[in-house]
Amino acid sequence: MRGIVCEEIERFRLVDDLPEPARAPWEAVIAIKRIGICGTDLHAFKGRQPFFAYPRVLGHELAGVVEEIDPNEAGLQVGDRVSVIPYMHCGTCIACRGGKTNCCTAMKVLGVHIDGGMRERIAVPVTHLIATNDLTLDQAAALEPLAIGAHAVRRSGLASGETALVIGGGPIGLGVMALAKARGARVVAMDVNASRLAFCRDWARADATVNALEDPLGGVLAANGGELPSVVFDATGNARSMTDAFGYAAHGGRLVYVGLVGADISFHDPEFHKRELTLMGSRNATREDFERVLEALAAGGIDVGRYVTHRAALDDMIGRFETWLKPEAQVIKAMVEI
Ligand SMILES: NC(=O)c1ccc[n+]([C@@H]2O[C@H](COP(=O)([O-])OP(=O)(O)OC[C@H]3O[C@@H](n4cnc5c(N)ncnc54)[C@H](O)[C@@H]3O)[C@@H](O)[C@H]2O)c1
Ligand SMILES: [Zn+2]
Ligand SMILES: [Zn+2]
């Protein structure tokens, strides 16, 4: 079968002799139709992904059609459209036992730690499928990046009527904003990029925006009636922003790191202490988070059509990929089609 292999840093190869997936009884074979591209793929290609081994088939934002499956509790059948939960957890570690399969100690993510779905077919456990017959293929592939936002929002305990500051209006931050709005919260978006802020207002229906390059603290206060927001999400992947974020959370508030950075973050303890701040990491997502995204999509508040800004057929992906890396391309989400 055909697929694209990332052979080494900055080298993809389109091949037509990838081995067919060998399906175990608890697995289904999925004919892949859409592969969303995200920062993780860009970092892997550029060699900036720590602990990444080549060659690797990328692709973890996956939608397709069931091609082979045994009778199963979920009632999934051949021909059903599905989305894939790409986080292969062990099921036995302390995190898994506690239901936190998203941060399994032995986590293997498709397309990151093990081969992913940038190929015609893949075998995945039936437990990692979500029925998406009511969605478009693009919506089904976008479930994963949006579920990252749903997980962060759920973790924060954000309530209807609360104000959330979301720093970083990339595909991940936009998902946080959209899911926070779906929860009934007010959203203040912060970014350094004015066109991203316009997209946050327009696409994610952010109630206010703050340019981090222009008096961010004053902007946050002005956007929230003179008070700091009780929940702050940082989805920038920028250490400076993650440090500054401590100063934007209200007393008694929560600060959620959705983005991650290969650096140490330090903070001034008196600021942390006097606020009695809760600092949280947020990693991946669980089935419950995917289901929240399904509900939000059904309610009509998330326009995946405009979230997907770029697309290419599998045959053209390699040539397009380099252009997607350029900031002037203004990619939010690129989608590969098979
Ligand atoms: N929690 C998870 O499991 C998970 C999953 C996928 C990605 N991520 C992480 O989420 C982060 C965001 O991912 P993305 O794909 O949206 O990234 P992105 O780079 O596309 O977007 C980041 C946004 O932050 C803005 N930004 C950068 N520095 C800033 C600053 N100092 N102040 C304000 N805004 C700033 C950028 O202009 C951009 O709009 C990354 O760190 C990524 O690794 C986390
Ligand atoms: Zn992704
Ligand atoms: Zn585990």
Are 239 and 312 in a shared domain? no
Are 187 and 253 in a shared domain? yes
Are 47 and 122 in a shared domain? yes
Total count of residues recorded for the chain: 338
288 within a domain of the structure (yes/no)? no
pLDDT band at 51 (very low <50, low <70, confident <90, very high): confident
Above 80 in pLDDT, residue 194? yes
Its pTM stands at: 0.97
Who surrounds ion ligand 2 at CB < 5 A? 38
pLDDT given at position 148:
98
CATH number where 194 lies: 3.40.50.720
Pair 24, 61: CB distance under 8 Å = no
Residue the block writes with tokens 């949006």: 146
Does any ligand 1 atom lie closer than 6 A to the CB of residue 204? Answer: no
Who surrounds ion ligand 3 at CB < 5 A? 89-90, 93, 96, 104
- Cα(175) to ligand 3 centroid in Å equals 26
H helix count then E strand count, the chain: 11, 17
CATH number where 325 lies: 3.90.180.10
139 within a domain of the structure (yes/no)? no
Are 7 and 123 in a shared domain? yes
Give the range of the structural domain holding residue 312, as residue numbers without chain letter. 3-133+303-337
Which amino acid is located at 284 in the chain? N
Which amino acid is located at 236 in the chain? T
Q: Which long-range contacts (CB under 8 A, 24 or more apart) does 19-27 make?
A: 20/121, 21/121, 21/122, 21/123, 22/123, 23/68, 23/123, 24/123, 25/70, 26/70, 26/125, 26/126, 26/127, 27/123, 27/124, 27/125, 27/126
24 within a domain of the structure (yes/no)? yes
Does any ligand 1 atom lie closer than 6 A to the CB of residue 284? Answer: yes
Above 80 in pLDDT, residue 244? yes
pLDDT digits (tens, 9 = 90+) for 250-284: 999 999 999 999 999 999 999 999 999 999 999 99
pLDDT digits (tens, 9 = 90+) for 196-215: 999 999 999 999 999 999 99
User: What average pLDDT does the structure give for the chain?
Assistant: 97
pLDDT digits (tens, 9 = 90+) for 78-118: 999 999 999 999 999 999 999 999 999 999 999 999 999 99
- Cα(97) to ligand 3 centroid in Å equals 7
Are 85 and 196 in a shared domain? no
Which residue out of 172, 190, 209 has the highest number of ligand 1 atoms within 8 Å of its CB and is therefore the one to mutate?
172
pLDDT given at position 298:
94
Q: Work out the percent of the chain whose per-residue pLDDT is above 70.
A: 100
Above 80 in pLDDT, residue 218? yes
293 within a domain of the structure (yes/no)? no
Are 277 and 172 in a shared domain? yes
Are 126 and 175 in a shared domain? no
Above 90 in pLDDT, residue 50? no
Residue the block writes with tokens 């089935």: 287
199 within a domain of the structure (yes/no)? yes
Are 203 and 128 in a shared domain? no
Domain count, the chain: 2
pLDDT given at position 36:
98
200 within a domain of the structure (yes/no)? yes
65 within a domain of the structure (yes/no)? yes
Are 113 and 173 in a shared domain? no
140 within a domain of the structure (yes/no)? no
**Which of helix, strand or coil describes residue 105?**
coil
Are 243 and 318 in a shared domain? no
Q: If you average pLDDT over residues 189-202, what whole number do you get?
A: 98
Are 185 and 71 in a shared domain? no
Are 223 and 119 in a shared domain? no
Does any ligand 1 atom lie closer than 6 A to the CB of residue 59? Answer: no
Q: Considering only residues 51 and 279, tell me which one the structure prediction assigns the higher pLDDT.
A: 279
